[in-house]
Amino acid sequence: MRIYLAAAYNRREELCEYRRQLQDLGHNVQARWLDGQHQLDRNGTPIGDHGEKLVEDGNGFENAALRAKFAKDDWDDVTGADIVINFTEPPGSTAARGGRHVECGIALALGTRVIVVGYRENLFHWLPQVEFAKSWEQAFRILKNDQRRPSASPQSLRA
């Protein structure tokens, strides 16, 4: 299975561990943002893990092409996935940029299987085709049980 993990960027290291667990089950986790190269500050400036600006164009403006590359990488990873697992935040949290919401919407529009882990942050998380797990452990059990079913395939799981 090709899986995309969507979450707030500040949860990247946590999700790297989940990626490892999924890979141990034989899944292909295609989420390049987990490699640590897709970080933006609150103003949208590409930065490294220590907050340093990655690219400037000489006029003090950050390179839009790098931001577009991040978006294209994520788009390709989401649209190529069989499952999108969307890790959400508690009500009233300050995780403001919300790319994970766009990624979830893309998956829903394509008919990709979506599992929300944590909280139902928005109305679309209540759609009947969206699966919900209160914790990563619960979501992981769902995926492990899917592997045990002989007829488990992306198409049969979406029905």
Beta pairing class for 83-87 and 28-29? unpaired
CATH for the stretch 2-158: 3.40.50.450
The better pLDDT of the pair 59, 142 is held by 142
Q: What is the pTM of this model?
A: 0.79
Distance CA 93, CA 14 (A): 18
Condensed to tens digits (0 to 9), the pLDDT of residues 9-45 reads: 888 889 999 999 999 999 999 998 888 665 555 555 5
Query: Which strands, in side-by-side order, build the sheet including 83-87?
Result: 28-29, 2-6, 83-87, 113-117, 130-133
With cut-offs at 50, 70 and 90, classify the pLDDT of residue 139: very high
Q: Which is nearest to 85 in space by CA: 116, 109, 106?
A: 116
Distance CA 10, CA 94 (A): 11
Domain layout of the chain by residue ranges: 2-158
Q: How many CB atoms lie within 10 A of CB 156?
A: 10
Lowest mean pLDDT among 15-29, 123-137, 138-152: 138-152
pLDDT of residue 45: 57
List, in sequence order, every beta strand (DSSP E) within the chain.
2-6, 28-29, 83-87, 113-117, 130-133
pLDDT of residue 9: 80
With cut-offs at 50, 70 and 90, classify the pLDDT of residue 159: very low
With cut-offs at 50, 70 and 90, classify the pLDDT of residue 158: very low
Mean pLDDT of 106-116: 98
Distance CA 3, CA 148 (A): 17
The better pLDDT of the pair 5, 146 is held by 5
pLDDT of residue 95: 61
